[in-house]
Chain A
Amino acid sequence: MTDPAQFEPFLRAYQDMVYTTALRLLGNEAEAEDVSQEVFLKAWSHFPALSKSLSAGGWLKTVTRNLCLNHLQRHRARWTAFSDLSGADGDPASVDIPTAETQTPTVMSAEQRRLLEAALARLPDHQRVPLVLYYFEDLDYAEIAQELGVSLSKVKTDLFRAREALRKKLQPTRADLGF
């Protein structure tokens, strides 16, 4: 059995990545901590092989993603049922179309990051999850559809609505903060 002293540097090196992935997928800090713990306990039981592997980071990301999706499917209402309700996320015509002046500057301030993370966490599961898988996990539409067990067109619709909803949530602060 692996000595915790050997495991600790590995844990500290990857904890931010695992926690961030879980937090963005789940949108809840306590649940993200629980899932992160589960991920690292799995990693600990596979540590002899994992410590020599060059793809340890990828392994951790995949396990985190799978555990988060299992968690969402098991403990919360599935997003499939809700995302099919048209108009539930607002009228697309009311969304403000950005101009060049309102585009985000290259470097984001800490306040911008905080607001964006908060807006992301407030999105409903069926919008946040595809968005996170697409932008942070670098999955394409087909891979997201496969992961979530939904159709390709549904992934596109959910992503479309998620981007709109995210912009809407940030709308009041965009002018001040440069979003």
Chain B
Amino acid sequence: MNERNTTDDANEAWADQVLRQLPLRQAPATLALRILREIEARRTLPWHRRPWGSWPLGLRVVTGGMAVALLGSMAWAWFWIDWSPGAAPAHVVPGFLGSVTAVAAHLLEALWIVLSHLGGWILLSAATFLTAAWIATLGLGTTCWRLATGYR
């Protein structure tokens, strides 16, 4: 233990002296050019291929408003519409939205009837199969992409 401590003290003093005085390495001359080229390529991308945060202000306002309206409608529908089988949302919600919710409610009702007549094991097997298929597809896709691009 003593010898280890002595060795480490000596190594520490040595490393402290040697490593701390190492100067910065010079970046390759191609690095700046490569970065500037990439920046230029990103600058010339059309707005719809850029991140949402860098879209023109008007588009951000419109799309942001649409997203808020959509989420708000969904939240409203979730809390205020009676989705249970047999309910008639068309009587609750007037106009076009009422028709849409009526159709959705009837579809849900049909789905509910089908699911309730299937056994638990069938549903579980189907869910397991779908999960396994999804994982296999993902794994296969990743492998192909890595093979194609030589990405580690």
Nearest A residue (CB) for B10: A97
19 contacts across the A-B interface (CB closer than 8 A): A11-B35, A20-B24, A23-B25, A29-B28, A33-B31, A37-B31, A37-B34, A45-B54, A98-B10, A104-B18, A106-B21, A107-B21, A116-B19, A117-B22, A131-B15, A135-B16, A135-B20, A164-B7, A167-B15
Contact present for A19 and B31 (CB under 8 Å):
yes
Interface residues of B in 27-48 (CB under 8 A from A): 27-28, 31-32, 34-36, 38-40, 42-43
Contact present for A19 and B39 (CB under 8 Å):
no
Which residues of A pack against B, CB within 8 Å? 1, 4, 7-8, 11-12, 15-20, 23, 29, 33, 36-37, 40-41, 44-45, 75, 92-93, 95, 97-98, 103-104, 106-108, 113, 116-117, 120, 131, 135-136, 160, 163-164, 166-167, 179
Contact present for B8 and A163 (CB under 8 Å):
yes
In the assembled complex, B152 has its CB within 8 A of some CB on chain A: yes
Nearest A residue (CB) for B19: A135
Contact present for A108 and B22 (CB under 8 Å):
yes
- Given contacts A8-B36, A19-B31, A41-B39, 8 further A-B pairs with CB under 8 A are A40-B35, A104-B14, A104-B18, A106-B21, A116-B22, A131-B19, A135-B16, A135-B19
* B-chain residues with CB within 8 Å of residue A15 when the two chains form the complex: 27, 31-32
Contact present for B27 and A19 (CB under 8 Å):
yes
Contact present for A41 and B152 (CB under 8 Å):
no
Residue among B11, B19, B32, B38 with the highest chain A CB neighbour number at 10 A = B11
* B-chain residues with CB within 8 Å of residue A37 when the two chains form the complex: 31, 34-35, 38
Contact present for B11 and A164 (CB under 8 Å):
yes
Nearest B residue (CB) for A97: B10
* A-chain residues with CB within 8 Å of residue B116 when the two chains form the complex: none
In the assembled complex, B125 has its CB within 8 A of some CB on chain A: no
User: A41 CA to B37 CA in the complex, in Å?
Assistant: 11
Contact present for A36 and B20 (CB under 8 Å):
no
